[in-house]
Amino acid sequence: MKKIAVIGQGYVGLPLAIEFSQHFAVVGFDIDRSRVEELNSGRDRTLEADLDKLNAGLLLANNSGFDRGYRASCDLEVLATANIYIVTVPTPIDRYNAPDLTPLLKASEMLGKVLKREDIVIYESTVYPGCTEDDCVPILEKFSGLTFNKDFFVGYSPERIVPGDKVNTLTTIKKVTSGSTPEIAEEVDQLYKTIIKAGTHKAANIKVAEASKAIENAQRDVNISFVNELALIFDRIGIDTNDVLEAAGTKFNFLKYKPGLVGGHCISVDPYYLAHKATQLGYHPDIILSGRRVNDSVAGFIASKVVKLMIKKDIPVRGGKALILGVTFKENCPDVRNTKVVDVYHALADFGVDVDIYDPWASGEEVKHEYGVDILSTLNLDEKYDAVVVAVSHDEFLTMDFSKLKKDKAVVFDIKACLDRNIVDARL
C-alpha cells in the first residue's frame, strides 16, 4: 500500500499533499513545528489550501487508522513510514544570483537516513538539468547505504503552482512526469494521474523534465524583459507603453505581455538555474542573462521616474513622503517571496525620500524577517503623501480614494496600469 510523504508544506507541497490525501495516506512533513501545528488544526497562512479538503483529509486520517487522509508532522519516525517521498522545498538563488541548493541537499540528506529498499523519491523543486541525478542521488546513496536504480529509485515532476490563482490550480494544469527507469517513469506518471484532472505528460527522461521547468519561466522572463525595455524606450519618446501594446495587440499573433516588476519564486529565479548550467558547459547564455538585467533594472527606473515627476512639480525630494501600495509579488495573494517592490523602496530611500509601505495581504512579520523592512499595519488617512506608488493591483487598491492619501500636488505612479488614467501622473 502506498504511503506518501510530501517534504515541505508551503505553496507547492501543501496543495499536493491535500490532493493525494483523498486517495492515499499522506504525511505532510515540514521542519517548522508551528507550521505543522497550524496545519493539523486545519489552518493555512498561505491561503493556498482548500480548507474543506484539508479538514476532510485530517478527519479521514483519524477515522481510517491513517490508511488514507492527511497528517502534518516534523517527526522523522513518522516520515520513515512512507514509501514514496515527494520533495517540494525551495530552490532560491544567493546574493550573486547563483543557485542555492542548500534546502534541496539537506532534504536529500534527511531522506537518505530514512530511505528503504523499493522506495521512490520524486523531486518537484525547480533545478537545472542534471541536478536530480548528479547532485541529489549521490547524497541519497551516501546516507542510505543503498544503490540507485537497484535498491531505490527517483523521479522528477516540476511544480506548476500559480500562487493566488484559483482557476489554474494544481489539478487543472497538465503535469510533466519522469522517472529514473522506464518502469518507475510509468509508476510516477500513474501516481500523478490519480489527482491531475488535466492529465500528464511523461517526459523522455529526468533531465528533459528538469529542463522543461527551467525554460517555462525563462521564456516568460525574456518576453517580459522585451516589453520592459520598450517601456524604457517609450518613456524617452514620451508615449504610453500600454497604449502601444494595446494597439499592437489588435493583431492576432501578438503576444500580450505587460511591463512590470518581475519577482516571485519562479520567473525571476529559474533563468539563473538554466544560465548556471549553461555556463558550466562553457556557453554564455546572452539572451537569458540580458533579459534578467533588463528586468532587474526596472525598480531603479521606477524610482528615478517618481523622483523626476516630484521635481517637475516642485516637490522636495529629500524628506518627501512616499507611500508604496503593495509589497507582495502579485495581486490578491500574501506571497512576498523575492518581491521586487522592496527594490523600489530602497531606490526611493536612496534619493532621500521617506517611504512607507502598506499591503493588507502581506504579513508584516514576514516582510520584516525577509527584508528588514517595516510595513504599515493600517493606513492613517490623516497622513498625506508627496508621492503614491501603486506597486501591486490588489482589489482593495482599485477602488481606493487617492485624494485622501496625497497632498495637493502629489505624484501618483501606477506600476500595474490598473487605475483610471485621470488620477495618475504616469504608469509603467
Catalytic residues: 266
Residue 250 exposed, middle or buried by CB count within 10 Å (0-12, 13-18, 19+): exposed
Distances (CA, A) of 246 to 223, 249, 396: 16, 5, 25
| Other CB atoms within 10 Å distance of the CB of residue 233 | 12
Main-chain phi, psi angles of 237, to 5 degrees = -75, -30
Is the separation of the CB atoms in 82 and 5 below 8 Å?
A: yes
The residue type found at 21 is S
Main-chain phi, psi angles of 389, to 5 degrees = -115, 115
Is the separation of the CB atoms in 90 and 99 below 8 Å?
A: no
Closest CA to 335 of 161, 174, 173: 161
Is the separation of the CB atoms in 276 and 282 below 8 Å?
A: no
The residue with cell 544570483 is 97
Distances (CA, A) of 345 to 96, 240, 372, 384, 428: 21, 24, 12, 18, 16
Distances (CA, A) of 313 to 165, 308, 310, 347, 391: 39, 9, 5, 20, 21
Q: In whole angstroms, give the CA distance from residue 270 to residue 178.
A: 19
- Reported as half-sphere exposure (CB side, CA atoms, 13 A), residue 128 has a value of 20
Quick one: cell of 142? 551516501
Instruction: Give every CB contact of residue 246 below 8 A, 6+ residues apart in sequence.
Output: none
